[in-house]
Amino acid sequence: MKKRLFGTIALMIAFLVLALGLLYGSQADVAAGTGTGEELGATENGVPLLFIENVGQFAPQTRFQIRQGNTTIHIAENEIWFTLVDQRGEDFLSGVHLRLTFPGANAHPTLVPFDRQETHVSFFSGSDPASWRQDVPVWGGVRYLDLYPGIDLEISGRGGRWTWRLLCQGRDVSLLQDIRLQVAGAERVSLGAGELRLSTASGPFRLPLLQLSCAAEGLPRYYPSIEGAVVRSPFAIQRPGRVPQPLDNPDEMLYGTYLGGSEQDWGHDVAIDGSGAAYLAGQTSSTDFPATSGAFSETLGGTRDAFVAKLSPNGNGSADLVYATFLGGSGGETAGGIAVDASGNALVTGWSNTGFPDTPGVFGDCSAGGAFVSKLNASGSDLIYSGCVTGLNAAGHALALDSAGQAYIVGSIQSGLTTTSGAYDTAPNGNSDAFLAIVSTDGTTLTYATYFGGSDHECAYVGYVGRGCTVALDDSNQVYISGGTLSSDLPTSPGAYDTICGTDGNCNSDWDAFVAKLNPAGAGASDLVYSTFLGGSGADTTSGIAVNPAGSAYVTGHVHSDDFPTTSGALSENHNGAHWDSFLTKLNPAGSALDYSTYLGGSGNDHGWDIAIDQAGDAYAIGYTLSDDFPTSADAQDSTRDGTDAYIVRLTTAGSGQDDLVYGTFLGGTGIECEKACAITVDAAGNVFIAGDSGSDDYPTSEGAYDRSYNGGTQDAFMARLPLGAGPQHRIYLPLVMCGYWP
């Protein structure tokens, strides 16, 4: 019986070792000791290096361990060990230990891991369960904080390649001239092109030289040299520009780019198509905005124009500018919202003055300006249709598409709307109303148009308070509108969550948020499914809305109220400080109750701009913050505020307190991000696409980005893509004795 049991265990181990070998198999023939002499980490399939945290399964000196083929790497407090095993077939012939140290460095730096991985590793060693370690944390890299005063060492392994660099957190970089790297255990140390070449008893071993990331001006050029086993100035690449702060994880950005000219450029909204291409809409006053050859309009038409741009991923971690076009007349235009149909045609809305381009046979001409709706062809070279919803001060704020390609536009208007028969409300109500207009697929017909509002203001103009009104559709083409109102008599529905403005039934000159659901069937008053206020005793407004398949509306915005309604167990049930907090609220499908509601912010001012949801119902929100203590996660792309930064969060809305925060990060440089607006959308894989405006000349961009340099003026538009999805989880069990050992 025992023999059978041990045989079964041995067979299980063999299969597990085989499975592990398949996972790491592409790395097995590239580590030192195989005789290939290839660089450490140069894997074929880009499997990331896994930094396995020591929670008692390794020798105490090891803080993190990396296994790569026949090489085991130990990250210790003041040294790094490479254990190279020379294997031929099933036999281990010899082993070599290489010990790397930095003479004169801090002997006790703080080691901080980053980029928590979804991979799970467990260790079942020995017969005593007390010695087993399950679900050991696995990371994508480690920071040595203050290895030298003001200088950190960062080691990471994204793409399966060992990368290490020194980050100069201050401008005093005089210590760089004294940095040495000592190598013990190699027979010979020499220099190659950007690398160290080590001769060992197990064969040649190659290790890249350290990169430098320092913002100091006039940084000297350091040339590495060898003195026995010591490498003086062991640096390869000096990278000027912004220095990531402690715990930053810049490699998490799939791409990030500026987009603009020498004047003012703002990104207001973003949409994506099925191929992963992103479409950005906004406003520019730059005559040298990078319009592409053959685009619909290559020149600025007035004081400012709307613009539309398409960026497509090119497969190497960046994106190409497919097209960029001006869109405007002789006055001033701004794009407020954008959507993309199944054929790759971009539809955009905004507001225009005289001379805006319209097409023959369109639903409404633009001779006097208005809320424009334009449909660009897939190449951005021409208009399929372009027309205007007309009326006094008509402005298009947001746009959504149904499966047939009809455009649903919401915005603000004072009067003069051409309403349709059977619309919910055919007459203006106050100082300014919200409106909903539906344009047919070919642009010839306004199939539905209605006012919505009370006796005061609805849907403030973009840039005044929030993004104006926003819109979302559910699978039945029910329309959800959110925004801000000053009307105490805004129409609400029986049984709605909140039927009075503020806390006393009077708005008292303070904006209250509202959420309304309309069924545009042309049945008059019954078109209103529900309408509710949302707010406290202060000024509150929404700026973004999204809807899940069940018909639950998610809204975000910013609040001044200390008594804004929150739900038990939310991430933050109390106002966090200063004047403004962001918020995130989920309404039930009937609009009669809050499924989830939370403040979102820190001790400074925080403004929410936009929201998206994924297939699992997690919410992704974006805004800007002046709070150093805005909630971020351990795997944040940037955990330190540099100026007025954008923020991106992912929440579960489960009501489990701090555990609701799946991800949170700052994003920005030392200037102002998202001053006018920011937008977010998410694809099926959980990758978020964001757009906005940046006044920072050190906004973080990605390698190979379309434009890595600030172009001037007060703002540039920006575009970024971050992987925030959970991704596949790989649970790896290792019931075996680890081959690495500590000499």
pLDDT digits (tens, 9 = 90+) for 633-651: 877 888 889 889 999 999 9
Q: How far apart are CA 464 and CA 502, in angstroms?
A: 20
14 and 163 housed in the same domain? yes
Q: Where are the beta strands (DSSP E) in 570-637?
A: 581-587, 594-600, 606-613, 619-625
Contacts of 144 (CB under 8 A, 6+ apart): 109, 110, 111, 152, 153, 154, 155
Tens digit of each residue's pLDDT (9 = 90 or more) over 112-129: 887 777 777 888 777 788
Q: Where are the beta strands (DSSP E) in 117-259?
A: 120-123, 133-136, 138-148, 151-156, 163-168, 180-184, 188-192, 195-200, 203-208, 210-214, 225-227, 230-232, 235-239, 255-259
Q: What is the mean pLDDT of residues 89-112?
A: 81
Q: Quote the pLDDT of residue 216.
A: 55
Q: Is 170 part of a structural domain of the chain?
A: yes
Q: Is 718 part of a structural domain of the chain?
A: no
> pTM of whole model > 0.85?
no
Tens digit of each residue's pLDDT (9 = 90 or more) over 647-657: 999 999 989 88
Q: Is 366 part of a structural domain of the chain?
A: no
The two tokens of residue 727 are 């991704």
526 and 558 housed in the same domain? no
Reported as a pLDDT band with limits 50, 70 and 90, residue 441 is very high
Contacts of 309 (CB under 8 A, 6+ apart): 259, 279, 280, 281, 321, 323, 324, 325
Residue 9 has pLDDT above 50, yes or no: no
39 and 68 housed in the same domain? yes
Q: How far apart are CA 536 and CA 606, in angstroms?
A: 17
The two tokens of residue 443 are 């642009």
Residue 303 has pLDDT above 50, yes or no: yes
Q: Is 12 part of a structural domain of the chain?
A: yes
Least confident of 214-218, 307-311, 367-371: 214-218
The two tokens of residue 690 are 């964001």
555 and 608 housed in the same domain? yes
Reported as a pLDDT band with limits 50, 70 and 90, residue 57 is confident
The two tokens of residue 716 are 């540039």
Average pLDDT, the chain: 84
Residue 20 has pLDDT above 60, yes or no: no
Residue 132 has pLDDT above 90, yes or no: no
CB 437 within 8 A of CB 448: yes
> Which of residues 243, 262, 293 is at a domain's end?
243
- Other beta carbons within 10 angstroms of residue 9's beta carbon come to 11
Rg (CA), the chain: 29
Closest CA to 337 of 302, 303, 372, 301: 372
CB 389 within 8 A of CB 359: no
> Which of residues 474, 504, 533 is at a domain's end?
533
Q: Quote the pLDDT of residue 29.
A: 28
Q: Quote the pLDDT of residue 516.
A: 98
Q: Quote the pLDDT of residue 710.
A: 92
Residue 20: helix, strand or coil by DSSP? helix
Q: Is 408 part of a structural domain of the chain?
A: yes
The two tokens of residue 176 are 């760089």
Q: How far apart are CA 500 and CA 512, in angstroms?
A: 10
Domain encompassing residue 136:
2-243
Q: Quote the pLDDT of residue 145.
A: 87
Q: Quote the pLDDT of residue 30.
A: 28
Least confident of 50-59, 385-394, 481-490: 50-59
159 and 39 housed in the same domain? yes
459 and 598 housed in the same domain? no
- Other beta carbons within 10 angstroms of residue 331's beta carbon come to 16
Q: Is 318 part of a structural domain of the chain?
A: no
586 and 528 housed in the same domain? no
Q: Which residues pair with 156 in a beta bridge?
A: 141, 163
Q: Quote the pLDDT of residue 498.
A: 97
What is the total count of domains within the chain? 3
525 and 557 housed in the same domain? no
525 and 599 housed in the same domain? no
Helix%, strand%, coil% for the chain, nearest 5: 5, 45, 50
Q: Quote the pLDDT of residue 42.
A: 41
482 and 595 housed in the same domain? no
Reported as a pLDDT band with limits 50, 70 and 90, residue 5 is very low
9 and 148 housed in the same domain? yes
Least confident of 251-260, 363-372, 521-530: 251-260
> Exposed, middle or buried: residue 374 (CB in 10 Å: 0-12, 13-18, 19+)?
buried
Q: Is 660 part of a structural domain of the chain?
A: yes
Reported as a pLDDT band with limits 50, 70 and 90, residue 631 is very high
Reported as a pLDDT band with limits 50, 70 and 90, residue 14 is very low
Please report, for residues 72, 348, 387, 435, 520, the alpha-carbon distance to residue 444 in angstroms, rounded to integers and kept in the order given.
Answer: 67, 16, 9, 19, 18
How many Å separate Cα 298 from the centre of its chain?
30
Tens digit of each residue's pLDDT (9 = 90 or more) over 244-294: 444 445 455 678 899 999 999 999 999 999 888 999 999 999 999 999 999
Q: Quote the pLDDT of residue 87.
A: 55
Q: What is the mean pLDDT of residues 125-149?
A: 84
Please report, for residues 348, 507, 534, the alpha-carbon distance to residue 555 in angstroms, rounded to integers and kept in the order given.
Answer: 22, 20, 10
Residue 66 has pLDDT above 50, yes or no: yes
Residue 173 has pLDDT above 80, yes or no: no
Q: Quote the pLDDT of residue 237.
A: 52
Q: What percent of the chain has pLDDT over 90?
A: 56
Closest CA to 268 of 668, 693, 612: 693
DSSP 292: P
Counts for the chain of helices (H) and strands (E), in that order:
1, 48
> Which of residues 533, 562, 593 is at a domain's end?
533
The three-point CA angle 244-205-54 to 5° equals 55
The two tokens of residue 299 are 């020149």
35 and 66 housed in the same domain? yes
313: left (phi over 0), alpha (psi -120 to 50) or beta: beta
Highest mean pLDDT among 183-187, 214-218, 279-283: 279-283
Residue 219 has pLDDT above 70, yes or no: no
Q: Quote the pLDDT of residue 84.
A: 82
β-pairing, 120-123 vs 230-232, is unpaired
Q: How far apart are CA 36 and CA 129, in angstroms?
A: 40
Q: How far apart are CA 505 and CA 490, in angstroms?
A: 11
Of residues 193 and 532, which shows the higher confidence score? 532
Q: Is 592 part of a structural domain of the chain?
A: yes
Reported as a pLDDT band with limits 50, 70 and 90, residue 242 is very low
**For the sheet containing 305-313, what is the strand order?**
265-272, 278-284, 305-313, 319-327
Q: What is the mean pLDDT of residues 451-455?
A: 97
Q: What is the mean pLDDT of residues 451-460?
A: 92
